[in-house]
Amino acid sequence: MLGSLHNYRRICKDTLYPDEKELPLLAKSLCGVLAGWTVSFVAAPIEHVKARLQIQYDAKTKHFSGPIDCASKLIKQGGIRNGLYKGLFATMLFRTNFLFWWGSYDVFTNWFTKNTNMSTAAINFWAGGLGATVFWITAYPSDVVKQQILTDDIKNPKYKTWMQAARSVYHRTGWKGFFRGFGPSIIRSFPANAAALASFEAVMRFLH
């Protein structure tokens, strides 16, 4: 994902803003969306298999013996598009919220740079963690809906559209249902993404 983001920003800079020192905030944010959509084509089948395996952990009957068996059976049941890649649109919609991640990351980076004496690595760490927090606040409801779609029956799906799945969550649990499990996710998100962003920026500085 970070590689795609870097490439999209470089292409955008070279083609649309060749005379500017750096990309405008909106352009940086939109490149984040493009990176999210790109990685969705890799992430969608992986997340689908992961979701199927997770819901069978507590089940008495195991339908899949592992990731490979799960992927194989999903393809047999629905083919590539409606089986393995079921939920691709929901995955892309979820990652559209990268707009807020990379937009806020840039805002936090600029603020820390102007208002603190922290090192570049520390700024990357804190901006990365806070940006990820903004992302999860905005994206978590769509992630909940995505999980409903990914665990829906392949042959006889309950949800024909994303909106049907969203309405189902609301009718069953109200607005709180869109943030069920939010706490643990946000706690894991900050340190993991802060470290990832700090490492990525360090590598990019080394390469340049």
What is the pLDDT confidence band of residue 174, given thresholds at 50, 70 and 90? very high
Q: What is the radius of gyration, based on Cα positions, of the chain?
A: 19
Amino acid symbol at 68:
I
Domain boundary assignment for the chain: 2-207
Identify the CATH assignment for 2-207 out of 1.50.40.10, 2.40.50.100, 2.30.40.10, 3.40.50.300: 1.50.40.10
Query: Counting every residue, how long is the chain?
Result: 208
Which residues have CB under 8 Å from 139's CB, separation 6+?
94, 95, 97, 100
Distance CA 163, CA 60 (A): 31
pLDDT band at 58 (very low <50, low <70, confident <90, very high): low
Least confident of 20-24, 33-37, 114-118, 123-127: 20-24
Give pLDDT tens digits for 110-156.
999 999 999 999 999 999 999 999 999 999 999 999 999 999 999 99
CA dihedral 77, 80, 81, 86 (to 10 degrees): 60
105: closest CA among 122, 130, 137? 130
Rounded distance between C-alpha atoms, residue 3 and residue 87, angstroms:
24
Q: Phi and psi for 62 in degrees, rounded to 5?
A: -95, 120
pTM over 0.95: no
